[in-house]
Amino acid sequence: MSHLDLVIKNGTVVTATDTFTSDVGICGERIVALADDLRGKREIDAGGRLILPGGIDSHCHIEQLSSSKVVCADDFFSGTVSAAFGGTTTIIPFAAQHHGQSLRQVVNDYHDCAGPKAVIDYAFHLIITDPTPQVMGQELPALIRDGYTSFKVYMTYDNYQLDDYQMLDVLSLARREGAMVMVHAENHDMIRWLTERLLEKGYSAPKYHAVSHPRIAEGEATHRAICLSEFVDAPLLVVHVSATEAIDAIRNAQSRGLKIYGETCPQYLFLTAKDLDRPGMEGAKYCCSPPPRDEAAQDSVWKGIRSGIFQVFSSDHAPYRFDESGKLAKGKEAAFKDIANGVPGIELRLPLLFSEGVNRSRIDLNRFVSLAATNAAKIYGLYPRKGTIAIGSDADIAIWNPDKAVEVTYDLLHDNVGYTPYEGRSVRGWPETVLSRGRVVVEDGALNADRGSGVFLPCELSEAANPNGALSPELDPRTNFGAEI
Ligand code: URP
Ligand code: ZN
Ligand code: ZN
């Protein structure tokens, strides 16, 4: 009798750096063998299939209260089920502080939500909106040591925004402790000023959300955030980048050897501002910040993906139902500024990138894997437990049929949002079988995972945030960052 619990046979294994044929042997929760002709108690035939690391969605909002106190549609059950069906086996949502809250209490509250419900593994980023002396002096350093090694700060939103002085405090603390700062970079006053001018003239439809968040606001804030990070010599990851101006600022910083990292999302490749101009309030479904832009910006984002300016491709799944509980919480005819910000994408993130990236030869499979999983694992301190297929790593695996054609419709999906912005789109390439720590959690279109079977992952310090340590080539600005293609 074989000592292997499970063997995946006859497939092609793809990591961020290699593509090879091999069986994958799993014992318990781990990968223990990569070799030919393995035998196991159970065997899965992956002939004609690709064996990829399970995806890591390192930017998603689950069971979170927005800055204007609207609740996300997905809890840790529906959110993680939906992620798993899309080939993702780890999520890193946010434990979001609101003003006046203790960060430790916030983290405990999110654990109470996630623990009994998650079906795949999860870590947490923190959102810091109220950097009080108690938070900065005690709670945050202690939380970093407990495995919460990355945190997001906002340069916009009335209730979230930090000023530059506070940003410097957060960045310098991150530098001292070896943590990673993520930034939502948009110029708050430009947005606020433009919003007031638009509303004065009666321009309140959803399409004006895109007008009120101009590219220059993203470009300016991205440049400023980079300057602040350079000033205190702290690495920085700019999240949900949409505009050419922001991409240029990141490329410029990377070409100067700064540890500036970039994340982009499906909405900036597959949606445009025209989607916000759909009839009636339909456009509300596409309101997110920064907003989708135009075809030229989509091209810039693809170029950034191909050339290595972006290390991370996340969903920024910010799920709000198209009703009074979510998008329309402020009324059926709410002005654009009162529409809950965010679009869903946790399940389609990888199929969309695979279809339009790999199957249209814009990126190769290895870059797909680095964007989908490996780089996030490295940047957020989960590597090599997560994000690769290697002996000793968790058996988090997605077996992809690279040719499976799917017409996207909401009924296929498993989230609780009620619509998808990608309705009607055709994709080719789909994750058919998904393993989380050796458990086959998705197979033949069915879920086989208990509520609460996912575990919390304390994160190590990011290798990107270690001022003295060696960097992987993918995270080293001196290698491929910002190369022209
Ligand atoms: O519109 C978005 N992206 N909503 C989610 C919150 C955020 O800023 O990431
Ligand atoms: Zn954001
Ligand atoms: Zn977000």
Q: What ranges do the domains of the chain cover?
A: 4-52+389-447, 55-375+459-480
Task: Quote the ligand 2 centre to 239 CA distance (angstroms).
Answer: 7
φ, ψ at 27 (rounded to 5°): -125, 120
Domains 4-52+389-447 and 55-375+459-480 share a fold: no
The matching CATH number, chosen from 3.40.50.9100, 3.90.1150.10, 3.40.50.300, 3.20.20.140, for 55-375+459-480 is: 3.20.20.140
Ligand 3 center to 446 CA (angstroms): 28
Ligand 1 test: best mutation among 57, 60, 61, 162, most atoms within 8 Å of CB? 61
From atom 9 of ligand 1, which residue's Cα is the shortest distance away? Answer: 316
Rounded to the nearest angstrom, the distance between the alpha carbon of 224 and the centre of ligand 1 is 20
Tokens of 328: 């329309």
CA of 93, nearest ligand number:
3
Q: Given the CA of residue 67, which atom of ligand 1 is nearest to it? A: 6
Angle made by CA atoms 174, 474, 156, in degrees to the nearest 5: 45
Q: What is the DSSP letter of 341?
A: P
- Residue among 265, 261, 211 nearest 240 (CA): 265
- Atom index in ligand 1 nearest the CA of residue 61 equals 5
Q: Please give the number of the atom of ligand 1 that sits closest to the Cα of 288.
A: 1
Q: Which ligand 1 atom is at minimum distance from the Cα of 184?
A: 8
Q: The tokens of 232 are what?
A: 């205190």
Q: Considering every ligand atom, which ligand is closest to the CA of 60?
A: 3
Residue 408 Cα to ligand 2 midpoint, Å, equals: 26
Q: Write the pLDDT tens digit of every residue in 25-73.
A: 999 999 999 999 999 999 999 999 999 999 999 999 999 988 778 999 9
Q: Which of 289, 327, 338 to mutate to test the pocket of ligand 1 (most atoms within 8 A of CB)?
A: 289
What confidence score (pLDDT) does residue 485 get? 46
Q: Count the alpha carbons within 13 Å of 61 in the hemisphere toward its beta carbon.
A: 24
For ligand 2, the distance from its centroid to the CA atom of residue 131, given in whole angstroms, is 18
Residues whose beta carbon lies within 6 Å of some atom of ligand 1: 61, 184, 240, 288-289, 316, 318, 341-342
Q: Which atom of ligand 1 is nearest to the CA of 287?
A: 1
Encoding tokens for residue 240?
A: 């949900």
Ligand 1 midpoint to CA 453 (Å): 28
Report how far ligand 1's centroid is from the alpha carbon of 185 (Å).
Answer: 11
Question: So what's the pLDDT on residue 472?
Answer: 83
Cα radius of gyration rounded to whole Å, the chain: 21
Say which ligand is closest to the CA of 238.
Answer: 2
Residue from 74, 240, 263 to probe ligand 1 pocket by mutation (most atoms less than 8 Å from CB) = 240
- With a CB cutoff of 8 Å and minimum separation 6, the contacts of 419 are 285, 322, 344, 410
CATH number for the region 4-52+389-447 comes to 2.30.40.10
CB atoms within 10 A of CB 295: 9
Predicted confidence at residue 473, as pLDDT, reads 81
Taking Cα atoms as reference points, which of 202, 421, 210 lies closest to residue 333?
202
pLDDT of res. 406: 98
Q: 47 alpha carbon to ligand 3 midpoint, in Å?
A: 37
Nearest to 53 by CA among 344, 371, 415: 371
Q: Which of 295, 289, 361 has its CA nearest to residue 318? A: 289
- Nearest ligand by distance to the CA of 94: 3
466 Cβ contact list (under 8 Å, min separation 6): 178
Query: Which ligand neighbours the alpha carbon of 66 most closely?
Result: 1
For residue 136, report the phi and psi dihedrals to the nearest 5 degrees.
-75, -35
- Span from the CA of 59 to the centroid of ligand 3 (angstroms): 6
Distance of CA 311 to the CA centre of its chain: 11
How does pLDDT run along the chain (485 residues), one tens digit per residue? 678 999 999 999 999 999 999 999 999 999 999 999 999 999 999 999 999 999 999 999 999 988 778 999 999 999 999 999 999 999 999 999 999 999 999 999 999 999 999 999 999 999 999 999 999 999 999 999 999 999 999 999 999 999 999 999 999 999 999 999 999 999 999 999 999 999 999 999 999 999 999 999 999 999 999 999 999 999 999 999 999 999 999 999 999 999 999 999 999 999 999 999 999 999 999 999 999 999 999 999 999 999 999 999 999 999 999 999 999 999 999 999 999 999 999 999 999 999 999 999 999 999 999 999 999 999 999 999 999 999 999 999 999 999 999 999 999 999 999 999 999 999 999 999 999 999 999 999 999 999 999 999 999 998 888 777 778 888 887 665 555 54
Angle at Cα 345 formed by Cα 340 and Cα 351, nearest 5°? 165
Classify burial at 225, counting beta carbons within 10 Å of its beta carbon; exposed 0-12, middle 13-18, buried 19 or more. buried
Atom 2 of ligand 1: nearest residue by CA position: 342
